[in-house]
Amino acid sequence: MTIWNELAGLDFAVKTVDAAGVPTRSLQAGAGEEAVIFLHGTSGHLEAFARNIAAHAPYYECHAIDMLGHGYTGKPDYPYEIPRYVDHLVNYLDAVGLDKVHLVGESLGGWVAAYLASEQPERVLSLQLLAAGGTVANPDVMQRIRTSTTKAVQSNDIELTRARLHLLMNDPVNATEELVEARHRIYHQPDFVANIHNLLSLQDMDTRQRNLLRPDRLARIQAPTLVVWGHENPFGDVPEAEKMAADIAGAQLQLYPECGHWPQHEQAALYNPLSLEFLAKASERVKSVV
């Protein structure tokens, strides 16, 4: 399947939104009463959710964005730490007129989403953390991310980009040729190459430590929360997911076998109905409180 086939028959638009001066690439689809924002991982891009948009668009206004410094979004020259990502996300929400949203974040996207939910709970209807980062600082994992990404960006060899995507997947078949080519093109934009040190700043130990989602921050999250994890996640073992879910009051945990770091993509047939059920229940909970 290609990204175009995944979106076949769906009315959608890819736009550039001015988020307080940062041009932000956004795929928008659906027109529900509530909005779902999809946030990708480190060095990723909105195509990470190609297998999810069509399932959610009949019920929700969907926005998949390239986060600060990623994809085809603007790449200002400063380290991309979590408060910067959060500011950019809030500026995007303001630009498109969304006050409260459901957040779906994979890896780095989950880190950013959880941070926003802890800082501005009034803006978050629900929270999904898909193989989310940010609760630990594992030097081996951080070095693996830094090395694999830097090699792929600094060399024009598309096999290094393919290897970077294969690292995410339990089954390499899920790293489609279209995804590889899309990421390779993104990786070799001049401004992406020039700012790779900013994008990878969270792989520096001191920087990561001051940005971590510590238990006291997770305890401040009020939104209904779903944690989704793969048993073969190369960047974090299952106990990390269990601890994350335990630190957030009332969080639901879903584990998938034969799944790596992209559960929404690798296990889309299982994840999409789970997500829709969770979103519906979260909406009812919010309405009952109001």
pTM for this structure?
Answer: 0.97
| pLDDT at res. 283 | 87
Domain-by-domain residue ranges, the chain? 3-288
Is the model more confident about 284 or about 62? 62
What digits encode the pLDDT tens for the residues 233-251?
A: 999 999 999 999 999 999 9
Confidence of residue 273 (pLDDT cuts 50, 70, 90): very high
- Averaged pLDDT, 150-158: 97
- Taking alpha carbons only, the member of 111, 88, 89 closest to residue 37 is 89
Residue 199 has pLDDT above 90, yes or no: yes
- Taking alpha carbons only, the member of 89, 116, 79 closest to residue 204 is 79
| pLDDT at res. 289 | 60
Is the model more confident about 285 or about 62? 62
- Averaged pLDDT, 194-219: 98
Mean pLDDT computed over every residue of the chain = 96
Residue 120 has pLDDT above 90, yes or no: yes
Confidence of residue 290 (pLDDT cuts 50, 70, 90): low
Active site residue 45: no
Residue 2 has pLDDT above 80, yes or no: no
| pLDDT at res. 109 | 98
| pLDDT at res. 48 | 97
What digits encode the pLDDT tens for the residues 52-98?
A: 999 999 999 999 999 999 999 999 999 999 999 999 999 999 999 99
- Averaged pLDDT, 35-43: 98
Residue 102 has pLDDT above 60, yes or no: yes
Exactly one of 102, 166, 261, 265 is catalytic; name it: 261
d(CA 94, CA 169): 34
What digits encode the pLDDT tens for the residues 8-38?
A: 999 999 999 999 999 999 999 999 999 999 9
At the topology level of CATH, where does 3-288 sit? Rossmann fold (3.40.50)
